[in-house]
Amino acid sequence: MSSKGVTRRQFLGRSLAATAAFTIVPRHVLGGPGYTPPSDILTHAVIGVGSMGSGHVGMVLGDKQAKLLAVCDVDAKRLEKAVERGGKDCKGYRDFREVLDRGDIDIAHIATPPHWHAPISIAAADAGCDVYCEKPMTRTIAEGQHVIDAIQRNGRVFRLNTWFRLGSNLYGLGIPAKPLKKLVSSGLLGWPLTVRVSSATGFNWKIKMWSGRPNLKPEPAPEHLDYDFWLGPAPVKPYHPHRTHGSFRGYWDYDGGGLADMGQHYLDPVQYILGKDDTSPVAIEAVAQWPQHPDAVGLWNRVEMTYADGCRLILESGEWGEKKTEGEPYLEGPKGKVFRGFVTDPPELKDAVDGLPDPEPMISDFKVSVLTRQKFGLNEVNGNRSNMLVHLANVAIRTGRKLRFDPVAQRFIGDEEANRLADQPMRAPWHL
């Protein structure tokens, strides 16, 4: 093989042998100005090349330290477009297992619907790949621990893809999470705290956009879509185009509506700001349409989650039931409040932020995590906790009653119906 075709895995595997004898090494292997050595070229596969996956393909192709070797999708039309875009080194696959069997993929991107996130994350980690996974991390609470176990037993690095923890402006607020973290950690707001993630504080939960349709009339699946493989671990349901691709979010078998679509974007920063990366709420209560349809995701108005120390997280959709008005604080404690645009009450709270110590730094470049084997800022552990917030809220919406939750055992207390929603079986032969 020409040295120009050496991948990072091959280069690292041969490095010991290369030092055992004198060798004339090509300039591009050594690196230096204008050259990137194979040890720094990361090979990528994108599994799922729909709207989000297409973005992953573009990101890899735009990175000089990346090489796209594989794309995968059960939709032949989408796959064909991705292969054409990927270039001469990129091969297309219909089955993700064939991608992982290659043995030369450093990073597996998982941009499938969420019912596939856990099985593919686990398979990728077992195959020796680092994992770049779209949100929500998993479709159920129980799947999260299986992903953690697979990542850690294989010594892999995991990135959960959301917008906000790592410094971008919080949607609707116009400020990064960092100054809020500093303010909370200082104690200037007092304790316990209440956070409102609502239409009134600037957050769009998209619940009408991602509601499902009951009583869909079955249609034949198109020839270019392997619908059985698309379903994978999900129960068999008759095909309808609204169940697949962009609108799959409206069906419990595959996702959890607007709450699951936007939840980790909105709630992971809250978890970070409050310092709750190692725990979860102990009480959850929802106001929603009742009863919820067993298949199609429905509407909800409010979810309140309370931690053991009294901190509260209030979600309000503004799209069903009672609507709140503008002017509510996003963050509130006994000693002060923070509103949209980082307006504080009292005003001097904002002025105090610049003089407060910065929070502990985190890695925000996944390439750095992969090359140094250090955890990414939003990883399998803290990502699982923010993923749990999404599913706690949805289980409360679906059961229609106040729930008690054990953050250590990660099970609902005295409620087997809720636990069945938290730990659901997969369709054979798929399992975790």
Q: Which amino acid is at 154?
A: N
Under 8 Å between Cβ of 182 and 172: no
Q: Which amino acid is at 166?
A: L
What is the predicted pLDDT for the residue at 170?
76
Per the omega criterion (within 30 degrees of 0), is the bond before 291 cis?
yes
Which SS3 state, helix, strand or coil, does residue 122 take?
A: helix
Residue 418 has pLDDT above 60, yes or no: yes
Residue 6 has pLDDT above 80, yes or no: no
Query: Residues 28-76: pLDDT tens digits?
Result: 444 555 555 667 899 999 999 999 999 999 999 999 999 999 999 999 9
CATH code assigned to 177-422: 3.30.360
* Higher-scoring residue by pLDDT: 300, 175: 300
Domain ranges of the chain: 41-156, 177-422
Q: What is the mean pLDDT of the chain?
A: 91
User: Considering just the CA atoms, what is the radius of gyration of the chain in Å?
Assistant: 23
What is the predicted pLDDT for the residue at 23?
45
Q: Which residues pair with 81 in a beta bridge?
A: none
Among 157-166, 273-282, 410-419, 420-429, which is the least confidently predicted range? 157-166
Among 16-25, 45-54, 196-205, 406-415, which is the least confidently predicted range? 16-25
State pTM to two decimals: 0.92
* Dist CA 371 CA 391 (whole Å): 33
What is the predicted pLDDT for the residue at 17?
45
β-pairing verdict for 107-110 and 42-47: parallel
Which phi and psi (to 5°) does residue 68 adopt?
-90, 115
3-state SS record for 158-169 = EEEECCCCCCCE
What is the predicted pLDDT for the residue at 37?
64
Average pLDDT over residues 164-179: 76
Under 8 Å between Cβ of 140 and 391: yes
Q: Which residues, other chains included, contact 356 with Cβ-Cβ below 8 Å and sequence gap of 6+?
A: 182, 183, 185, 186
What is the predicted pLDDT for the residue at 326?
72
Residue 4 has pLDDT above 50, yes or no: no
* Higher-scoring residue by pLDDT: 310, 16: 310
**Residue count (the chain):** 432
What stretch of H or E contains 183? helix 177-186
Under 8 Å between Cβ of 381 and 277: yes
* Dist CA 320 CA 288 (whole Å): 8
Q: Which amino acid is at 387?
A: N
* Dist CA 110 CA 119 (whole Å): 10
Under 8 Å between Cβ of 49 and 55: no
Q: Which CATH superfamily is domain 41-156 in?
A: NAD(P)-binding Rossmann-like Domain (3.40.50.720)
What is the predicted pLDDT for the residue at 1?
36
Residue 120 has pLDDT above 50, yes or no: yes
Residue 337, CA atoms < 13 Å, CB-side half-sphere: 9
CA geometry: angle 394, 398, 399, nearest 5 deg: 120
Query: Residues 274-326: pLDDT tens digits?
Result: 999 999 999 999 999 999 999 999 999 999 999 999 999 999 999 998 877 67
Band the pLDDT of 165: cuts 50, 70, 90.
confident
* Dist CA 189 CA 295 (whole Å): 42
What stretch of H or E contains 343? strand 343-345
Q: Which amino acid is at 76?
A: A
Q: Is 259 exposed, middle or buried (0-12, 13-18, 19+ CB in 10 A)?
A: buried
Residue 420 has pLDDT above 70, yes or no: yes
What is the predicted pLDDT for the residue at 29?
45
Q: Where are the alpha helices (DSSP H) in 353-423?
A: 366-372, 380-399, 416-422
Residue 13 has pLDDT above 60, yes or no: no
* Dist CA 402 CA 392 (whole Å): 11
Nearest to 92 by CA among 106, 102, 101, 82: 82
